[in-house]
Structure 1
Amino acid sequence: MANIETNQSQSRVQRGFARKQKRLSLRIDMTPMVDLGFLLITFFIFTSSMNEPKAMDLFMPEDGPETTTAESGAFTILLDKDAGIYYYEGQPDNSNVEIKKSSLSGIRKELIRKKQEVIKNYKPDKACEEKAVANQTPIDDCRQKALTVMIKPTKDASYSAIVAMLDEMTINKIARYVLTEPDVRDLTLLQSTK
């Protein structure tokens, strides 16, 4: 608590008359205010050092031959200018591939549908089962990795559309996704929708 001290002054002469006037002087103890200041400084230094920027983990593929994706688990998203989102299921060289246009909320529904479909129809291979038993992980990890989403932005795609699509992968807990450039077959499919 602040201590306030008062001092009375002595008499003062005004216009020749001696008159007593009480004069009060204040003395405020600032020690608690200094303590509070140091506590605030300590708090802000501590919180600023604890709040470090977060970045996405980047998993690079191992060197070696190209890995193929099962047609039943392949889902390709093409990003075009003006936030255009197109998708198709399966491999692009398949003759009956149908490319569809979607919105951001629509692609989320399609990702959820495709993930549930792949998990439901997944038949675990022996290598995945052995790996799950050795690592003591559930077989559901193998099922979730059966879906591979390929995100292919064109040169006209905006940066915010790419970031939004990567956020969708995190939100929907897609275990395997790839960010790559579209090839000639993808661009041909994209041109056929316009």
Structure 2
Amino acid sequence: MAELASSTPRSGAAHGRKKMNVRVDLTAMVDLAFLLITFFILTTTLQKTKAMDLAMPVNEGDEAVPASRSLTICLGKNNQVMYYLGELAKPIIAPTLTNFNSTGLRQTLIETGKMIRAKYGKNMIVLVKPSDHSKYSSLVSTLDELNITQTQIFSIVDIAQPDIDALKQKGVY
């Protein structure tokens, strides 16, 4: 039982008044406090996780990806990105370095997507290849840029040795 007791009267109190010993029972207030704490803990929602929907294809065999419509993005170290259009051996757009600023990857995705749509009448296919030296945040930033530019066809694939060699030549591996 929780109680609040007042202090005892001092000797020589003025005018001979007697101070009474007051006792207040705080049990009900403590119960109410715990009920309120329990209520707010149970009804409060913590920060909800933010996730981007990612549709993964069903593995129904390997289909050839047209090189003329495929933009390859290789992720290197220090938030650097190398991209090229077509095959690395004979690219339509030569391997170029960029980053994630406003004139970087987003602008490349927009311009290349418009060019492919105008030339072939179909959407661009993006292949994202993270290297061993890239950070996870670079992959997330790339997926964000693909989502912002509304790129509909993309895939995260393993990086090949020729791509690693090209990253080494650019100094971002």
TM over 0.5: yes
Which residue number corresponds to residue 103 of structure 1? 99
Q: Match for 1:19: what amino acid?
A: G
RMSD over aligned CA atoms reads: 3.7
Superposition map of 1:21-32 within 5 A:
21-23=18-20, 25=22, 27=24, 31=28
Gaps of 5+ in 2: 1-8
Q: AA paired with 2:41?
A: F
Match of 2:111 among 110, 113, 118: 113
1:1-194 correspondence to structure 2 within 5 Å: 19-23=16-20, 25=22, 27=24, 31=28, 34-35=31-32, 37-48=34-45, 51=48, 54=51, 56-57=53-54, 59-69=56-66, 71=68, 73-94=69-90, 96-105=92-101, 106-121=104-119, 123=121, 146-194=123-171
SS at match of 1:44: helix
Q: Normalization by structure 2: what TM-score?
A: 0.68
- Judging by fraction of residues, say which structure has more strand: 2
Q: TM-score, normalised to structure 1's length?
A: 0.62
Question: Contact 1:91–1:97 (CA<8 Å) still a contact in 2?
Answer: no
CA, structure 1 residues 117+55, in 2 after alignment: closer, same or farther (shift >3 Å)? closer
- Higher helix fraction (1 or 2): 1
- Hey, what's the Cα distance between the residues in 1 that align with 2:113 and 2:40? 45
Superposition misfits of 4+ residues, deviation over 6 angstroms = none
Distance 2:55 2:107 in 1: 25
The one-letter amino acid paired with 1:168 is E
Q: How many residues align?
A: 161
Distance 2:27 2:114 in 1: 66
Given that residues 79 and 135 in structure 2 are in contact (C-alpha distance below 8 angstroms), is that contact kept between their aligned partners in structure 1? Answer: yes
Deviations 1:50-108 (A, max 9, x none): 9467475351442213331351x321111112322111122323255411110112112
Unaligned runs of 5+ in 1: 1-11, 124-142
1:54–1:36 CA distance, 2 compared to 1 (3 A): farther
CA distance in structure 2 between the aligned counterparts of 1:36 and 1:158, rounded to whole angstroms: 48
